Amino acid sequence: MNKKVDLIELNQKDYKETWDFQTELLQSIVDLKIKNRREGTEIATPNYFLYVEHPHVYTLGKSGDMAHLLLNEDQLKEKGATFYKINRGGDITYHGPGQIVGYPILDLENFFTDIHKYLRLLEEAIIKTIAEYGLEGERSEGETGVWLGVGTPFARKICAMGIRTSRWVTMHGFALNVNTDLGYFDNIVPCGIRGKAVTSMEAELGKKLPMAEVKEKILHHFKNLFEVEAFI
């Protein structure tokens, strides 16, 4: 089993271009797995972890409701935002500047074959990261992602998650609001959940945070939780 992960920093990149790139990587791993099984070979499958920051974009998961996008086409243009229906789980979310987006493209057969565990460990990596800044991240039953203030009238989501898998290979991932302009969330029903707010690390702590520093902390916890041998 290959527990090394190729870390790819895409910096600022268009959502559709990144989605296409993810799809290419996933398909290349799936093709190798099929080849291994067909030919009886044991060529190690690669794993990837993409970091990216998207321009303003709204994405709707395959089970999502279009009614949760509160803008028409002209209003999207006014906001400088784009919109895509995509093939991950979950409903609607926003990506934009000041947000750390991570897309692990892992062959889970290199780690463990348990989607529930995969999502819980992704959440745990974020919970441990924001704890280093004094924020108590929590899970909300039945609602994937990381929240603050669960069980209070002030529950608010700080990190959204949505994934897709094919033959145990993952794509899509998480979006942690660090220095994000939260006003863009006013144009959707975030994750299809009414009556709950969205927050960011900046909003909670009253200061902007160095994105590179937060990224390093996420990688540290991801490495430990997934027992990654090395990022390459």
191 is catalytic: yes
Binding-site residue positions for substrate: 88-95, 160-162, 173-175
CA distances from 199 to 113, 183, 203 (A): 32, 10, 6
Backbone torsion region of residue 210, taken as left when φ is above 0, otherwise alpha when ψ lies between -120 and 50, otherwise beta:
beta
Q: Exposed, middle or buried by CB within 10 Å (0-12, 13-18, 19+), for 203?
A: middle
CA distance 114 to 151: 28
Q: Exposed, middle or buried by CB within 10 Å (0-12, 13-18, 19+), for 67?
A: exposed
Gyration radius from the chain CA atoms: 17
Catalytic residue among 29, 191, 214, 228: 191
- Planar angle of CA 6, 10, 14, nearest 5 degrees: 135
Yes or no: say if 48 and 10 are a contact pair by the CB < 8 Å rule. no
Binding-site residue positions: 88-95, 160-162, 173-175
Residue in 154, 184, 143 with CA at minimum distance from that of residue 58: 184
| Partners of 99 in the β-ladder | 177
Yes or no: say if 98 and 202 are a contact pair by the CB < 8 Å rule. yes
Q: Exposed, middle or buried by CB within 10 Å (0-12, 13-18, 19+), for 105?
A: buried
Catalytic machinery residues = 191
